[in-house]
Chains A and B, each alone.
Chain A
C-alpha cells in the first residue's frame, strides 16, 4: 500500500520534473523530448515524489507547513513496509532488501559462469554478457557497501551503546527509503538494454553507452545519497547517544568498526556522487569533462572514481572485521586481545585509505612519477590491517573456543581475507600488477576480500544476531551444512581464478583462449555448487523466522548489551537507561561487569575453580 503510494508519488514527480525540463528545453530552443536529458533531471523530482509519498509528507514534512502530522498507527508485519522510524525495523528492512539484491546478483553470476564454461559464445553474446556482468558487479558492490552497515549498524549499534534509538530516527527511515529507487533505477537500466561498462563505468565509454548507462549513474548516485545520510546518522548516534559510562575505550569493537566505516562514507561518498554527476552532465548537457578533443581528460574520471572507490572497499570490509573480532572474543570466552591496537588498526586503515587510490591505475597512463608513492602507500596499509589479525590471533590463543555457527563464519573471514589481502599485496607491486591488472587474478582477489571477507562477515552477523532480531533460533544443523557447503564452494570457485588470471585470462570477456577451458569448467561447476548452498540458507532463514525454536535473551552467553535485553528487544530497548561499568570483554575476570541495567543488583553467577 505504502509502496504503491510511493510509486505513484515517484511517477507524479517524474512527470512534473519532465514537464518542467521540457518547458525549459523548448524555451531554449531544444527539442522537447530527449530521453536522457529529461530523465536525468526528472529523476530528482521522482525521488522527491517517492519520498514524500512513501511517508515523509505524512510523518514529517506536514510539520514544516504548519499542518498536523498523521499519527503513525501501523503495527505488526506491515511496519516493515512502512516509513517506520524504529531502528530495529529499519535494520530488518535493510537486511531483507539487500539479501534480495544479493540473490539477484548471484543469479546473474550463475548466468555468467554458464557462459564461461566454454570458450566461444554460447548463451550470451558479448553485449549481453557485458550487461549482465556489469549489473552483477554493481549490485554486489551495493550489497557489500550497504548491507552490513544498514542492517546491523542500525539494529545492534544503538542497543550496544545503550541508546533507545538512533539520533535522527526519521532521517534513518529516509535513508532506507532511498534504497528502493536504487533497485528501480537498476531495473530500468537493465530492461532498457543495460550498460556494458562494468561497475567502474570508466569514461569515455560510459559517456557513450546506451540509456541503461544513465540509470546506472542515477542508481549509484542515489545509493550514495542514502549512504551519506545513513553514515551521518550513525556518527551522531555514536557520538551523542552512548549510555552513561560508555566511554570510547569501552565501546564494543563492532561499534567502532561501524563508526569508522561511517566516517569513510560521510567523507568519500561525495566523490562518487560527483563522478556520476560528471558523466551525466557529459551525457545530457553537452559538457566535456572527459572529452580530450575539447579539453577534457578521461583519466580525471578514474582519479575521482577511485578516490571514492578505494575507501569504499574498506567500507565493505571494516564492518566484517568488527563482527569477526566481536564474535571471536565472545566465542573464545576471552577478552578481545589488544583492544586498543584493534581500534588503532581500524583508525589506521581509515587514515591511510585516502592515499592509495591510484593503485587501480598503475597501467592507466597516469604520470610515471605517481607509481612509486602509490606502490608504497598501498603496501603500508598491510600494517594496520595486520593489527586486526593480531587482535584475532591473540584472542583465540588459550581461549575456550566454541565452534558455534557465527564463530565458523568469523574464522572463515580470517582465512579468506588472509588470502585476499596477501594477493592484494601482489597487485600493489607495480611490476607484477602490470601483468595482472584486468585479469582474473584481480577478479579472484576481489572476490576473496569482498565475498570471502565482507559477505562471509555479513553471514556471520546474520547467524549471530538472527535470534536477537527475530526472537527465534536458526536451525543449527542446516546452518552448519550451509557453512561448509559455502566455504568449500567458495574456495574451489575462486582459487582457480588466480590461476587462470596468471595464465592470461582477462576479465570482462565472454570468450577466451581454448587452453583455459578446463579450469573454467571447474570454476563454473564449483560456482554452481556455491550458488546452491544459498538455497539451504534461504530455507533455514525463512523457516526459522516463522517456525524456529524460541530464542532466549542470550543464547550465546555474550556480554554486550544487546544480549541483556529480551529477544526481540522491546520498542524502547531498555527499561531504564543502563549504566556502563566496564568494557564488555571481561571474560575470565572475577567480578567484572559490563553494565548495570538498573533492574536490581544480582548475585553473581560465577564460581572460581582451581585448574
Chain B
C-alpha cells in the first residue's frame, strides 16, 4: 500500500472536483477569520482612521496586488491551454509583483511603527490585519515558488490542478485585501 489520495469510487465525483470543493470550503473558513478581523476593527475603532497612514503607499501596493491578480489569472489561463512557457512567465510576474507588495507592506510597517505603534488601538488593529494578511501573502509566494520550480520540470503538462489551486489562493488573498484596503485606509 502506498500513500496517495484515494481515487474516487467509479461512479463518484472526479478528483479535481473534490479538490475544488475542498479549496472553496477552505476559503469559506478563512473568510470567517478575515470577517472577524474586520468586525474587530469596527468594534474597537468605529470608523476612525489614523491620519498617519500613508495613503500613497496604500494605494500603490493595492494597485500592485491587483495587477498580480491579473498575471495570476493569465497564468491559470495559460495552464489550462497547456502553454507551459507562458504559464511560467506569468507565474514569475505574479511572484515578483507579490514580493513588491510585501516590500511595500514592510516599508509601511517601518513608517507606521513610529506613528502608531502596536501599543495604540489603531496600531494594534493595523498591524494585526496587515500582518495576518501578509502571512497569507507569504504562503502564497511559497506556493508560487514551488509551482514555478515544478512547472519548469514539466510536472503540470497534463495536470493543471496545482496551478489552478495556487492561482485561486492568490486571488483569494487579493480579494481579502480589496476588503482590507478601504477598511484600513479609507472609510
Contact = CB atoms under 8 A, between A and B. Distances in A.
Contact of B9 (A85, A228, A243, A296): A243
B22 interface: yes
Interface stretch (B58-66, B80-88, B113-121): B113-121
A133 interface: no
A365 interface: no
A571 B123 CA distance: 54
Contacts of A244: 11
B32 interface: yes
A233 B17 CA distance: 14
Given A65-B146, A235-B25, A240 B121 contact: no
Contact of B29 (A236, A267, A577): A267
A93 to B, nearest CB: 15
A285 interface: yes
Contact of B121 (A163, A233, A296): A296
Interface residues of B, number: 44
Interface of B: 1-3, 5-6, 8-13, 17-18, 21-22, 25-26, 28-30, 32-33, 36-37, 40, 43-45, 117-124, 127-128, 132, 146, 149-150, 153, 155
A59 B29 CA distance: 26
Contact of B33 (A71, A163, A270, A285): A270
B30 to A, nearest CB: 7
B9 A163 contact: yes
B133 to A, nearest CB: 13
Interface stretch (A286-294, A406-414, A422-430): A286-294
Interface of A: 59-60, 64-66, 69, 71-72, 83, 85, 162-170, 228, 232-233, 235-236, 239-241, 243-244, 266-271, 273-274, 277-278, 281, 285-289, 294-297, 300, 303-304, 571, 577
A69 B3 contact: yes
Nearest to B34: A270
Contacts of A64: 146, 150
A37 to B, nearest CB: 12
A345 to B, nearest CB: 24
A71 B2 CA distance: 6
Nearest to A72: B3
Contacts of A295: 44-45, 120-122
Contacts of A268: 32
A165, A266, A267, A295 — most chain B CB neighbours (10 Å): A295
Contact of A288 (B30, B120, B149): B120
B40 A168 contact: no
Contact of A69 (B2, B6, B119, B124): B2
Contact of A168 (B5, B9, B44, B127): B5
Nearest to B122: A295
Given A241-B9, A266-B29, A571-B1, A167 B118 contact: no
Given A240-B13, A274-B33, A577-B11, A297 B44 contact: yes
Contacts of B37: 274
A249 to B, nearest CB: 19
A381 to B, nearest CB: 21
Contact of A289 (B13, B32, B124): B124
A405 to B, nearest CB: 33
A491 B17 CA distance: 49
A287 B155 contact: no
A300 B121 CA distance: 13
Contact of B43 (A162, A297, A577): A297
Contacts of A571: 1
A201 B95 CA distance: 40
